[in-house]
Amino acid sequence: MTFDFDTILDRRRTGSYKWDFCERAFGEKDVIPMWVADMDFAAPPAVVAALKARAAHGAYGYPMIPKSFWTALSAWLKRRQGWEAGRNEMTLIPGVVPAINLCINAFTRPGDKIVIQTPVYHPFYAAVENNGRRLVRNPLSFDGGRFTMDFDHLKSLDDSRTRMIILCSPHNPVGRVWTREELGRLAEIAAAGDWVVVADEIHGDLILPGHRFTPFAAISNDAAARTVTLTAPSKTFNVAGLSTAVGIIGNPRLKALFDSQLQSAGLTMGNVFGLAAFEAAYREGEAWLDALLVYLAGNSEFAGRFLTENVPKIKLIAPEGTYLGLLDCRGLSLEQAELDRFLLREAKVYFDPGPRFGEELRGFQRINLGCPRPLLREALERVERAVRAREARTGS
Ligand SMILES: Cc1ncc(COP(=O)(O)O)c(C=O)c1O
């Protein structure tokens, strides 16, 4: 079966955060949005069909989660990730970000220290700070082309108040698919400090050809016993607006603590559409995903080549997983605010400014490559034209 990823889907004025934000926030009408981790493709045909069938029924009362929902997930994890997770380890959650907040409350106390590996998905900072915990940064190392973990620094962060690490795997925004060896070293440090590991694996099925994903909980028995894995079809199948995700917790003591947080917050009911899409995606979305991954790798290659040939002052740090790349714009020699303004107002493309994920990304932008290639080309051509016009104007 072939899938069409090339046709541009008009998402303007559909209540899309990604597409309608720039006009509302900046008064800019004709901007191409290349920010927010949501793709400009329709979900797989099987998911759209399942949602239409559910909508056609007409009654949308409280759902009961069918057994088939859980078996679809276990079969998927086993097939795609080589990971056998049992039904009794799984809990429905309304989203990964809410679950990170619940984990912080379940497993740490106010004033405890929580480690994050920066630059990183910005809600990690907010979750730690909004819950009155102390944020501890373990900055990633960068050699100009690739980011890696700094294990010596990570080890040095252990003290009696360090209780948790929030792992982003694969990593947003640096695009790394951590190797088994890297995760093994992290697991040893977490074991030595007796830290809980919250493994945000929402991008775990978006692994580009040539890379291999290892679920953190599958590293060792010790890792399984200290990990809360958070995953979802949201990013993989472009159904993030349906608010349906899962927590997988192998340690019954941690699971009971987490579930009691869900109970206290009253978050025990699923969403009829989210449940239907979730099951259809994991049961019937595989061929679509395989085709998508090839297309995303093609987009990344296209963007890298386009910039090298036409805008060599901007360099793409291509992702190994996720559909998010980083643009190293330091060659333009613009201060961050000026760079952001230039891209939005002159190029009319909106990326996520790098410092949104951490000070380490000053001079960078995050680009969302999850869109039809003609749209990606148009966005990059806009950047090229703006850079050339600026060079002609300033003589540099
Ligand atoms: C690493 C990561 N975690 C979580 C989320 C959002 O998860 P949810 O919508 O389930 O809260 C995103 C979305 O971009 C993400 O990139």
**pTM of this prediction?**
0.98
Q: Within a domain: residue 49?
A: no
Q: Within a domain: residue 5?
A: no
| Ligand 1 lined by 232 (C-beta under 6 Å) | yes
CA–centroid distance, residue 38 to ligand 1 (Å): 10
- The whole-number pLDDT of residue 335 equals 97
Count, residues in the chain: 396
Do 193 and 311 belong together in one domain? Answer: no
Query: Prior bond to 110 cis, omega within 30?
Result: no
Q: Within a domain: residue 122?
A: yes
| Ligand 1 lined by 358 (C-beta under 6 Å) | no
Do 301 and 236 belong together in one domain? Answer: no
Three-state secondary structure of 294-335: HHHHHHHHHHHHHHHHHCCCCEEECCCECCEEEEECHHHCCC
| Ligand 1 lined by 121 (C-beta under 6 Å) | yes
| Ligand 1 lined by 93 (C-beta under 6 Å) | no
Do 75 and 37 belong together in one domain? Answer: no
Question: Distance of CA 232 to CAs 104, 204, 241, Å?
Answer: 19, 9, 12
Beta bridge partners of 135: 114
Reported as half-sphere exposure (CB side, CA atoms, 13 A), residue 56 has a value of 6
Tens of pLDDT, residue by residue over 285-313, are: 999 999 999 999 999 999 999 999 999 99
Q: Are 178 and 170 in contact, with CB atoms under 8 Å apart?
A: yes
- The whole-number pLDDT of residue 46 equals 98
Tens of pLDDT, residue by residue over 39-67, are: 999 999 999 999 999 999 999 999 999 99
Minimal-distance CA residue to ligand 1 atom 7? 96
Q: Within a domain: residue 150?
A: yes
260, 282, 304: which is the final residue of a domain?
282
282, 307, 336: which is the final residue of a domain?
282
| Ligand 1 lined by 147 (C-beta under 6 Å) | no
Do 131 and 73 belong together in one domain? Answer: yes
Tens of pLDDT, residue by residue over 191-230, are: 999 999 999 999 999 999 999 999 999 999 999 999 999 9
Do 111 and 194 belong together in one domain? Answer: yes
Do 133 and 163 belong together in one domain? Answer: yes
Q: Give the residue-averaged pLDDT of 270-287.
A: 98
| Ligand 1 lined by 278 (C-beta under 6 Å) | no
282, 317, 339: which is the final residue of a domain?
282
Residue 80 buriedness (CB in 10 A; 0-12 / 13-18 / 19+): middle
CA–centroid distance, residue 396 to ligand 1 (Å): 39
Tens of pLDDT, residue by residue over 118-132, are: 999 999 999 999 999
Q: Within a domain: residue 277?
A: yes
Q: Are 127 and 104 in contact, with CB atoms under 8 Å apart?
A: yes
Reading the block at residue 264, the tokens are 């206290």
Do 221 and 323 belong together in one domain? Answer: no
- The whole-number pLDDT of residue 18 equals 96
What domain range includes position 262?
Answer: 61-282
Tens of pLDDT, residue by residue over 227-256, are: 999 999 999 999 999 999 999 999 999 999
- The whole-number pLDDT of residue 90 equals 98
Do 182 and 126 belong together in one domain? Answer: yes
CA–centroid distance, residue 207 to ligand 1 (Å): 16
Measured at the alpha carbon of residue 175, what is the angle toward residues 305 and 168, in degrees to the nearest 5? 175
The percent of residues in the chain predicted with pLDDT above 70, rounded, is: 100
Q: Within a domain: residue 199?
A: yes
| Ligand 1 lined by 230 (C-beta under 6 Å) | no
| Ligand 1 lined by 234 (C-beta under 6 Å) | yes
Q: Within a domain: residue 89?
A: yes
Domains of the chain: total = 2
Tens of pLDDT, residue by residue over 265-275, are: 999 999 999 99
- The whole-number pLDDT of residue 1 equals 74
Do 159 and 196 belong together in one domain? Answer: yes
CATH code of residue 241? 3.40.640.10
CATH code of residue 388? 3.90.1150.10
Q: Within a domain: residue 55?
A: no
Do 84 and 179 belong together in one domain? Answer: yes
| Ligand 1 lined by 95 (C-beta under 6 Å) | yes
CA–centroid distance, residue 58 to ligand 1 (Å): 30
Atom of ligand 1 nearest to the CA of 245: 10
Do 269 and 295 belong together in one domain? Answer: no
φ and ψ at 16, to 5 degrees?
-85, 125
Three-state secondary structure of the chain: CCCCCCCCCCCCCCCCHHHHHHHHHHCCCCCEECCCCCCCCCCCHHHHHHHHHHHHHCCCCCCCCCHHHHHHHHHHHHHHHCCCCCHHHEEEECCHHHHHHHHHHHHCCCCCEEEECCCCCCHHHHHHHHCCCEEEECCCEECCCCEECCHHHHHHCCCCCEEEEEEECCCCCCCCCCCHHHHHHHHHHHHHHCCEEEEECCCCCCECCCCCCCCHHHCCHHHHHHEEEEECCCCCCCCHHHCCEEEEECCHHHHHHHHHHHHHCCCCCCCHHHHHHHHHHHHHCHHHHHHHHHHHHHHHHHHHHHHHHHCCCCEEECCCECCEEEEECHHHCCCHHHHHHHHHHHHCEECEEHHHHCHHHCCEEEEECCCCHHHHHHHHHHHHHHHHHHHHHHCC
pLDDT bin (cut points 50, 70, 90) of residue 354 is: very high
The residue whose CB lies within 8 Å of the most ligand 1 atoms, and thus the one to mutate among 101, 118, 202, is 202
Q: Give the residue-averaged pLDDT of 94-116.
A: 98
* Residue 183: pLDDT over 90: yes
In angstroms, rounded to a whole number, what is the distance separating the alpha carbons of residues 193 and 161?
A: 10
Do 172 and 29 belong together in one domain? Answer: no
Beta bridge partners of 165: 115, 197
CA–centroid distance, residue 229 to ligand 1 (Å): 13
Residue 123 buriedness (CB in 10 A; 0-12 / 13-18 / 19+): middle
Mean of per-residue pLDDT scores for the chain: 97
